[in-house]
Chain A
C-alpha cells in the first residue's frame, strides 16, 4: 500500500542516513510505550526510512523500528560551497535571518528589486493554490511565554 504511506507519512526518497547522539530504544511503533525492538547505543548509525509526526522510522543493521526524531542527528550532506564569512550580520541590526551564517557582504549596489515583484502572487492566487493542494486554514493561538515555563526540562536537556 505505498499510496497510503505517502499520504500519512513523509517517505524519505534518497537513502538518507544519520546517527544517535545518545543511547535510545528502538520501538515497534510510533507511540510512547510501544514494545522495545532493540536497545541502540550512542553513535549508532541509522538509515532513515519514514517520518511521522515526532517519530522517525529507521533501520540499523538487521533491525528496523521507530525512534523520536529529536533523538536522531542527520549525517552532514556533502558540502559544495565554501563556508561563508561569518558574523558580518551583526552590523545589520534590522536583519533577522534563519541562520547567523551570513551570505552577503552588504555591497551598496542596489539589486534589481523589481524582479522580486514578478511572480505577482495575490492572496487570492494563494487560496486557489491551497484549495488545489487540499490545504485547509485552521485557527489557533501562538505558544505564548506562559505556556512553556511549565515545560519540565531535565538537567542535561541541552547536552549531546
Chain B
C-alpha cells in the first residue's frame, strides 16, 4: 500500500517536472502537452479512488478474523470437498512460492541485489530513509516527550538495586544492536499489569508485573531485545516520517503546479484529498493493525537474535511469550473478538518457535541466568506471593 502512495507521489513529481521543462516549445504544443498531462492525472486519480474504495471494502470484510476463521472451519468440516480444495490451494501456493524462490536463487543479478540489500540493512536495519530523519539527540528528545505524556502519573519503582540490574541487562543487550550509542535507559514502572514498551531514542519501560511474571535473565533479555528492536528498526518513527514526507511533497508539488499549470490545481486538490484520506485510513484502524502485526513479529525475531548476541539462549523470549499468553488468557476470553493491534500471543509464540526451530539447535542455545534473575527480583516476587 505504501508503494501505491509513493507511486502516486512520484507521478505528481513527474507531472510537475514535466510542466517545468515544457516551456521550450510553442504555446500550442505546450497546451496540448498540458492537456495530455491533465488527462493522465485525472485517470490516475480515478484509479486511486477505485483502489481506495476496494481497499476499504476488503478491510471491512476482513474485520472479524476470529469469526471468519470459525465460519471457514465450519464450512470445511461440513463439506469435505471444500476442505480438500483448501488443502490443494495451500499446496499450490506453496509450490509457487518454492518455484519463485528457486528462480530467484538461480539468477545471479537478483542474488547480488539481495546481498547488497542485506549489507545495507546491516548498516541501517530500520531501512527508513526520510528527508526528516532526526538525529539521535532529536530522536531522544521526541522519545522523552512521548514517554512523559504516556506515563502520566505512573511511578517508577523505587528500588535502586533492581533499576541497576534491569539497566545492566538492557544496556548489555542494546550494545549488541546496530545503535549501541543511543542514550539507552530502562525504567521499571510500578504497575501490576504485564507489559513492556519502547519509545524513540532508546527509552524502554517494563512493568513490575512483567518482572514478577518472568523467571530468568534470558527471558528478560528477550523481552528487552524485542523493545530494543522497535527502536533500532525505527518502527515508531516510520509513521511520523511518512506523514511528514507526504505533506511536504504535496505542498511542494502544489506550489509548482500553481506556478506552471494552474489549470491542474482542481484535479491536484482532488488527488491530494484522496491521498490524505488514504494516509488517514492507513494510520488508524484495521490497516495499521496489519502493519503493526508484522512489526511485532519482526521485533520477536530480532529480540531472540539480540539476546543470543548478548550470550543468552534464544528460547527465553519463547518462554516469556508462553507466560504472557497464560497471564493474558482470562482477559482474552473475557473480551469479545475484535481487531487487535497486536497479533494473538499464541500466533507470536508459534511463529517465533517455528523460526527458531528452522535453525540448527546449537545456534539458539546460550545462558539462561535464572538464579541471578531470581536473586535480583526477589523483592518483587515475594511481594507478589
Contacts and interface: CB of A to CB of B under 8 A. Distances in A.
Contacts of A73: 322, 325-326, 329
A78 to B, nearest CB: 9
B296 to A, nearest CB: 8
Contact of A83 (B199, B236, B292, B331): B331
A89 B369 CA distance: 33
A interface: dominant SS:
loop
Given A54-B315, A111-B154, A133-B367, A101 B171 contact: no
Contacts of B215: 10, 12-13
A81 B364 CA distance: 34
Contacts of A62: none
A157 B90 CA distance: 12
B353 A144 contact: no
B19 to A, nearest CB: 35
Given A73-B326, A109-B152, A121-B164, A135 B299 contact: no
A57 B310 CA distance: 26
A158 B160 CA distance: 42
A81 B192 contact: yes
Contact of B168 (A75, A125, A137, A151): A125
A63 B35 CA distance: 82
Contact of B121 (A121, A126, A127, A144): A144
B144 A113 contact: yes
Interface string B118-152: 10011001000000000000000000101111111
Contacts of A74: 322-323, 325-326
Contacts of A33: none
Interface in A63-115: 68-70, 72-77, 79-81, 83-84, 86-87, 89-90, 92-101, 103-111, 113, 115
B189 A126 contact: no
B156 interface: yes
A113 to B, nearest CB: 6
B15 interface: no
Interface string A110-140: 1101011111011101110110011111111
Nearest to A75: B326
A122 B370 CA distance: 24
B302 interface: yes
A149 interface: yes
Interface of A: 6, 9-13, 18, 51, 53-54, 68-70, 72-77, 79-81, 83-84, 86-87, 89-90, 92-101, 103-111, 113, 115-119, 121-123, 125-127, 129-130, 133-144, 146-153, 155, 157-160
Given A96-B235, A104-B151, A123-B171, 11 more contacts: A53-B313, A76-B326, A94-B200, A94-B236, A103-B195, A113-B147, A119-B167, A126-B167, A126-B172, A157-B350, A159-B73
19 contacts: A54-B361, A72-B322, A77-B213, A96-B198, A97-B196, A98-B195, A98-B324, A99-B195, A99-B196, A99-B328, A110-B148, A111-B156, A129-B169, A133-B367, A138-B311, A140-B363, A147-B358, A150-B358, A157-B350
